[in-house]
Amino acid sequence: MDGQQIGDGGGKESLRVAGALLARISDGTYPLGALLPPQRELAKEFGVSRDTVQRALRELANGGWIMSRQGSGSRVSRVVEPQRAPTRAPSGAKPGWAVTLGPIIRQAFEQPEVTLDVYTLTSESLDMHIRVQEERIRTGEIAPRRISMRMLLPSEDLAVPYPRTKDDPDDPRLRDRLQSLTRRHTASVRRVLRALELEDLVPSVELEIRHVELTPTFKLYLLNGTDALQALYEPVERLIELEDGSEILAVDVLGFGATLTHYVKDDDPDSTGSVFVASSQAWFNSVWSLLAT
């Protein structure tokens, strides 16, 4: 697999703990605003050192999942509202229906072979959901034999129109923040998948990331040759807090936790679902082969 190796056992363990805590945030065990258990309790539960727990909490804080303050503990600051998606379109339903990513990723990873093609702005949402599946694999809930993933991202030197400072489009801080965010989450996906392969939890793992001179106006997930999910990036005005604590009024897009439209390939090659899955896969393959590097 083309990925980064994890440097030590502590790094692997902190990823395991972070993935488990993310799974609990995702399934509502720790709702928005809830305090996580004290570090001492988490260390005892997971059988790790407090230093490992602290690294896991820092990882969650870097992703915006929790806010940690000395003396006040760690509180959940971001969640994905759970929505159960049907495995197939209900009888008489219109082609394409609204879902969130979690249930569809969950179903895809329950197959012996998992294939996933992703076109996205940052890979932030994907990172979160891959960690949730990692925890399911580690606990023995699922046991895929092969994971193959391709990810398309915008080129780092591309002047994307968002995020940008509303009153000063030439301000480089948000562009730098976007690049940092993308690098952090793609590196996280690499580390998680690499660890699953190195520890023989998944016999075969493939990950390839390419960049393309296109600004994403939508995110697209293609799963196991049968499912496609798409969500448009909607520009909004919002305050963005930088690492130094300063705030910027920005034009941004809110892709994380977005409701996606779900299409499923069925036995009718001319159905809307089948046509959308096939055309989306053809589009991804052509961009991957002809435009991306």
pLDDT digits (tens, 9 = 90+) for 100-144: 788 899 999 999 999 999 999 999 889 988 988 998 999 999 999
Joined tokens for residue 280: 């989306």
Same domain, 126 and 188: yes
pLDDT at residue 90, as a whole number: 41
Give the ranges where the chain is alpha helix by DSSP (H): 9-26, 39-46, 50-62, 101-108, 124-138, 173-198, 272-290
Assess if residue 87 is contained within a domain.
no
Same domain, 70 and 108: no
Distance, in Å, from the CA atom of 42 to the CA atom of 192, rounded to the nearest integer, reads 21
pLDDT digits (tens, 9 = 90+) for 211-270: 999 999 999 999 999 999 999 998 888 888 787 878 888 898 876 556 689 999 999 999
Same domain, 194 and 72: no
Global confidence as pTM: 0.72
Query: Looking at residue 176, which CATH number applies to its domain?
Result: 3.30.870
pLDDT digits (tens, 9 = 90+) for 33-46: 889 999 999 999 99
Distances (CA, A) of 269 to 21, 229, 265, 279, 291: 41, 18, 8, 11, 28
Reference 113, options 207, 192, 205, 220; nearest CA is: 205
Percent of the chain residues past pLDDT 90, beyond the cut: 55
* Residues spanned by the domain of 27: 9-76
Count of domains forming the chain: 2
Distance, in Å, from the CA atom of 118 to the CA atom of 242, rounded to the nearest integer, reads 27
